[in-house]
């Protein structure tokens, strides 16, 4: 059974997130579980998610960026109220931020996406990215 589509192309932040993600070597977009995911060999960014409030209760965040930060960065992210532990991805170290916030710093978002990409992407694609600089 297919999941219903849970986003619209005009959702806040989606166009900018697409621009950032799809500029990375080998990156592609696929819809999974009704949401846009960005991947190479593995998913490095997801648009939209939720936060588990308590058992059986979730807060939907349709414009969230879900990403996998470097573990060394987790204490700083967890201390920043803009970030939250997303349902399903949190146990694996995932974190999320709502892109609908008008104060979204797109340079910071690009850095978070870059770090997540580097954690899950094959070395040859990371080398290709580094060669661009």
DSSP helix/strand/coil, 61:
strand
102-117: pLDDT as tens digits? 999 999 999 999 999 9
Give the global pTM: 0.95
Token pair 């219903």 in the structure block, residue: 4
* Strand order across the beta sheet in which 43-54 lies: 28-32, 35-39, 43-54, 57-67, 95-98, 83-84
70-86: pLDDT as tens digits? 999 999 999 999 999 99
Instruction: Tell me the domain boundaries of the chain.
Output: 14-123
Helix/strand number for the chain, H first, E second: 4, 6
Domain 14-123 CATH assignment equals 3.40.50.2000: no
Q: Distance between CA 24 and CA 8 in Å, rounded? A: 23
Nearest to 84 by CA among 95, 74, 68: 95
| Residue 63 near residue 88, CB atoms below 8 Å | no
15-51: pLDDT as tens digits? 999 999 999 999 999 999 999 999 999 999 999 999 9
């Amino acid at each position: 059974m297919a999941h219903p589509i849970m986003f619209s192309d005009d959702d806040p932040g989606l166009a900018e997130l697409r621009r950032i993600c799809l500029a990375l070597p080998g990156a592609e977009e696929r819809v999974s579980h009704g949401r846009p995911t960005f991947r190479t060999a593995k998913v490095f960014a997801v648009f939209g998610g939720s936060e588990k409030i308590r058992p059986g209760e979730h807060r939907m965040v349709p414009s969230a960026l879900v990403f996998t930060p470097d573990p060394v960065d987790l204490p700083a992210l967890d201390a920043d109220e803009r970030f939250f532990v997303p349902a399903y991805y949190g146990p694996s170290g995932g974190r999320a931020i709502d892109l609908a916030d008008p104060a979204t710093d797109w340079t910071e978002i690009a850095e978070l996406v870059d770090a997540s990409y580097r954690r899950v992407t094959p070395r040859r694609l990371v080398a290709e990215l580094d060669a661009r600089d």
